[in-house]
Structure 1
Amino acid sequence: MEIRLRILSDAMLRLEGGHKESNCAATKIPIRKMFERLAVLAAVPPDAGGDALLTTPAGGGLRLAEVQPLRVRLVLEGPAGVLHVPVHYNEVIQGLIYRYLDPDLAGHIHDGGYPEGPRRFKLFTFSRLLGRWERAGDRLRFRGPVSLVVASPVPGFVASLVSRFLSVGTLQVADQPTRLLAVETEAVPQPSGPVRVKLLSPLTVYTTLQTNQGRYTYYFSPFEEGFAAQVLRNLERKLHALTGNSQPLGGAFRPVRVSDRNLHIVRYKGTVIKGWTGIYELDVPPEAFRLAYLAGLGSKNSQGFGCIALWERSGPGD
């Protein structure tokens, strides 16, 4: 079996010319031509690990000396082209990530994370499962390829996942043998000024209130005052936890195309969480945008919330 590895950006790779014994002929190519051949689909043996040979349609070869992707799109397919998952599957995907992550790194992130005051951030996020689906009782049935975006600014996090995924080829998702069809690395955009983003998984921000009946979790709506401030303050705390930068973030965040249909009610380990998808405008410094793109916006990112992507207009009316 072969797995397709699509390299979408040279910014996260260090490559060296060379060759390696393989079923495909490999030849040395000049350094200046390396970057011309990155955006190709390459056949990678499942046991190649981090020292894989990338082969191009022209028959040339590159040794992949080091891969440090920060964000990837995994393309999966269930048995006979059908993948069944619970309606509330966030815990399933989170478990998949921790199971295949390097054990030491997984322990560090799960048990400690990155502290900021009393809070500890895991600093990774993932999207919903993206594909054609239908509901069947308390489960969802995905037909054909299914995509999952995983991102983290933590050094080695995504690279560890990619290496392990490529080594096994077939993953266990909700107790089903699931083929890994492709791994696509995604470059981190570098916008200047306001940019519109879409939520690939619901965005949630909340506060905990003390009432006569006890503690109560209040989830903010994008239509309320305080929603944007909560999102930006959360991003500021993550930046402080990761870099030590304690300067006020500033910036702006507002809904652009959001309606009641974008409200999602998610159950995670017995807890009800409210989150919102839709299109929003985000205006923050480049360092903060990079962190939002890799760690997510809002709270509970490691539980499958707040994963964003740039929004592209699809027509004149958009």
Structure 2
Amino acid sequence: MQLLVFHYHDRPGGVREVIGRGLPLLMERLDGVNEVVFLMGELRDAGWREALTARLKRQSPSVTVRWVEDREWGYAEPGFRSLSADSVQRLRDWLHPSPTARWSVLWAHNLSVGRNIPLLRALPRLCKDAGAELWLHHHDWWWDGRWQRWRDWLAAGVASLEEALAATVPVGPQLRHYAVNLADLPFLQTAAGDAARWVGNPLPAFRPPQEAEVREARLWLAARTGGRPVWLAPVRALRRKNLAEALLLTRRLAPDACLVTTGGSSAEEAAGWNRLRTAATAKGWPLAPQVLAGMEASAPSVPALMAASEAVMITSLQEGFGLPWLEAAALGRPV
């Protein structure tokens, strides 16, 4: 069996966590996976890819693991209307089972967030033509606090909400839908019937960091905060993470504390994030931003940073699931 895995990119985030934790479990439950192919729009984190490849090879020594990048499969630029002929042909080539595989499954993540509408509209047809199953794993929705995406649908030639909904939740004999939130299941079943299922995010046995790791994390944080108490926001610097409220709450509840954020921002949101940083500096409010961006491999782990913090801040306006809630609870940190 050939198992293909799609995501827009390999950057840190909740979707990547689900892929990394869920893929070994999925391979245990599927019969005869002998090839895993990752189809991604952007490959940046070689360390993560190498670690996941090694884990899959330890689990199944004979499995072949490949990583394929095509920028047309990533976040689409405004006005992007269709995939090129070359990109479509690459998808066709990979979707057809290899000579050693009896059948193919494409496990596609978060296409429902609407970051690449031409790809979302093309994949059901391409999978049908190739005889491949398409499993759509829904983490977020483009209409859930993201109505700016409607402009992208219009630019892609979609004229109505009904047409956009049909493209977001396509139906067909080779299609399956999986929701990470149980509350989304009734809606999915209305659109897709029995082809829709709920699959909670995979949570392996949690290993709390050792005391030595926590001590190291405290020293690491102290070097970046001037020794202030740390209120940690273990999220990327995105607008929907609502970090302005996290900063205000920190000032209100713990005026001497420093708000520390972990992940990087995105190019389209960098200007807004920079305005927040400038405002915090002007007010003299302690803020240590994006401390893990670009150095995840050499810095303390997020659980160690959580354990070394006074409190964990989670102020997101929208989350597909929200793993930090469970991690903070497992570490006994106030949220």
Q: Is the TM-score greater than 0.5?
A: no
TM-score (normalizing by structure 1): 0.26
Tell which has more relative contact order, 1 or 2 (C-alpha 8 A, sep 6+): 1
Q: Which has the higher helix share?
A: 2
Q: Which has the higher strand share?
A: 1
